[in-house]
Structure formats: C-alpha cells, structure tokens
Amino acid sequence: MNTCSLRTSFLRRFLPRCSAGIRGFTGLYQMVKFRFGTFFPLVLGAGFLLTVFAYGLFIFLVVEGWSLLDSFYQVVMTLSTVGFMELHPLSDRARLMVSFLILMGVGSFAYLVGAFTQVVVEGRLQDLWGKRKVQKIIDSLSDHYIICGYGRIGAVVAEELRRENLSVVVIEKDPELLFELERDNYLFLAGDATSDEFLISAGVERAKGLFACVSQDAENVYITLSSRQFNSELTIIARADRPESVSKLERAGANRVLTPHQIGGKRIAQVMLRPTVTDFMDLATQGHNLQMEEIPVRPGSELVGKNLITSGIRPRFNLMIIAIEKAGGKMTFNPHPEVTIKSGDTLIAVGPPENFSGLQTVCRGSQEDEA
C-alpha cells in the first residue's frame, strides 16, 4: 500500500513537469521552424551535422586523448570519407564509436543534400518570395483595417471584418498564432505591433481603422500613441483589461476604449434580465433575417433637406430609421417623422439585409453630384 502511494505521488509530481517540458520544447521548435521558414530543413540538417562533429571531437579529444588539432583533422577526414589512415592507432572502443560517427555523418550529409534539393529543385524558394508578395498586396491597400494582436479578441474582430468583406492586415508575433493566420489565409506581418516599422509596413498611414487588441495595456497605449502620430484621421479602437487604463488610452489617441470583461459581464446580465431584447439585438447585429446598419448621408444625396416622411425611406426600401446621429455627434433616438435629414447625418436603420444597398446608393448620391 505504501509502495502504491509513493508511486502515485511520484507520478503526480513527475507528469505535470514532463508535460510542461514537452510543451516548452514544442513551442521552441515551432518558433524556430517559423523563424527560418523554408530554410528550416537546412538549418535542422546543419545543426545535426554540428552535433555529429562535436561527437567526433569528443571521441578523439577525450576518449583517445589526442590534441585538439589532431582531433579536428581526424574528424574532418572521417566525415569527408576521403579514406586516409588514422593519425594515431585507435582502441577497440574508439573504433566502435567512430563507426557510429561515420554512419551519422553520412546520414547528415544525405539529409542536407535532400533538403537543399527540395528547396531549389521543387521550387520552395517561392515561400521566400511569398513574403514579398504579401507586402506588395499590403502596400496596394487603402482604407483597410489593422488588427494588432490575434488573440481571443483579435481573432473575433478579424472574423467579423472578413464577414463584411473588408480588407484586414494582422500584426502578430506569437508563432502558434502565426500558423493559424497562415492557415486561415489572412494578410499578416510576423512581428511586434509596438514597433513603428511594422505599423508602417501594415500601411497605418493609409488605413481606415486600427484595433489595439494585444493582451498588455501598456503595449496598447504605445500602439495607439504611435498610430495616432502616423495618421491623425485614423479610427482607433483599443482594448483595456483594467479600468484605470481607459483614460490613458483615450489620452494616447484612441477613439473608443472597450473592456472585454465589463462588456461580457453586462452581456450576461442582460441575457438574464432582458432576454427578448438581447435576442433582438443579436438578430439585428448578426445579419440573418434582420440587420442594423449605419449609413452616412453625403452632400450629393437626394435625401438632403427632406424629412423622414417625404424621404419615403420606409415605403421605398422597407427599412425603419430608429436613430439619427447628427454631424456634431448628437444622437436622436426614435426620430420624429418631421425631422429633417441633413448632409453629414448618419442614419441608423433596421431591416432585411438585402434592402440596404438601395438606401446606401441614395445616401451616397450620384457621381455627378459627388464630383
């Protein structure tokens, strides 16, 4: 019984440490693999060859007691298989170890030749050029959105923007998340979003919006501050884990600061207290049979100067205007039918998704008026 208890106690202590070690080694392997990309097989082969070379030095230098120069020269001759005689007689133990050295050396050379052939002959150099192609695509974008951090929050943001068919560029440095970005066919840059270099490479000067979604509030503050300096018209939405970070992000230049924990808590409470209202909001924002959209009114629109009744929005497009945001930022909910629509207003409409294209066209106005 005591032996069984000791064995159980040992396993409880050993298995978590073993599992943590395996996860750490796997993470390091994935990071190195992503870092070298196409050339990882060559790096792996070179590393194995160096290990074999060190093993050879150990045989001649330690086991046989030769000098460093003689040991180095003998290892080179052995691995190159030139067929020269040994500099000094070998013991039986050393001959056995040298036999394994020759087999490992031949195997490592064969692996390196195969890896080089795979890179050159099979065209895997295209992976190297792929990064340049991605950068060219990013350089051609304008009015796109940049997501800094592809964690739990950033992944949801990216999916929502993709659902709206908007151009997205993600900046991420975690190797595991980079594999997910590559698998999901996102445009991404592998690097630190706090670096000005990567913000510029992502096109922050031409972007329409930026999401600062990294896990550390201090990094989000730095990202917001740098992005605002590059683009004064950029819309920045920042994430904050702590309430005291909200004011810092706002002073740094964020247009909106959201705390996921507070939003999630309020959401859970509303589901309990007002389930029907919550279901309606889900239906309106997720865009199934009902959708909620904000539509800006341009100067050339035929709706400018008309009130809600004479505009005919409801009978023409089967859409309901539930709010109007004025150019100064004042929001009018449940607007009166006599409210006049002005240039610069933003209409908040609810209705079937297929009906919005007509209203959007009318709000934009004709090409001649915009010109």
The pLDDT confidence band at residue 367, using thresholds 50, 70 and 90, is very low
Q: Is residue 126 part of a domain?
A: no
Per-residue pLDDT reduced to its tens digit, 163-193 = 888 999 999 988 888 888 888 889 999 889 9
In the beta sheet, which residues pair with residue 292? 350
User: Under 8 Å CB-to-CB from 239, ≥6 apart: which residues?
Assistant: 149, 153, 211, 212, 213, 214, 220, 257, 258, 259, 260
* CB-CB contact of 300 with 366 (8 Å): yes
Confidence (pLDDT) at 18? 57
294-to-13, 50, 170, 356 alpha-carbon distances in Å:
57, 62, 25, 10
The pLDDT confidence band at residue 129, using thresholds 50, 70 and 90, is low
Q: Is residue 127 part of a domain?
A: no
Please state the rounded mean pLDDT for residues 228-238. 93
* CB-CB contact of 84 with 147 (8 Å): no
Per-residue pLDDT reduced to its tens digit, 331-352 = 888 898 888 999 889 999 988 8
Enter the tokens of residue 308: 């809600």
Question: Do residues 295 and 241 share a domain?
Answer: no
H or E, element range at 9: helix 2-36
Task: Output 287 or 204, whichever has higher pLDDT.
Answer: 204
Q: Is residue 219 part of a domain?
A: yes
Question: Do residues 113 and 180 share a domain?
Answer: no
Q: Is residue 325 part of a domain?
A: yes
Per-residue pLDDT reduced to its tens digit, 135-149 = 889 999 999 999 999
Query: Which among 165, 169, 150, 154 is positioned nearest to 287, based on CA atoms?
Result: 165
Q: What is the CATH number of the domain that holds 37?
A: 1.10.287.70
Q: Is residue 310 part of a domain?
A: yes
Q: Is residue 94 part of a domain?
A: yes
User: 19: domain range?
Assistant: 2-120
Q: Is residue 112 part of a domain?
A: yes
Confidence (pLDDT) at 107? 85
Please state the rounded mean pLDDT for residues 79-104. 83
Among residues 52, 87, 120, the one where a domain terminates is 120
% of the chain residues with pLDDT over 90: 29
Question: Do residues 219 and 300 share a domain?
Answer: no
Per-residue pLDDT reduced to its tens digit, 192-216 = 999 898 999 999 999 999 999 998 9
Q: How many domains does the chain have?
A: 3
Q: What is the DSSP letter of 297?
A: P
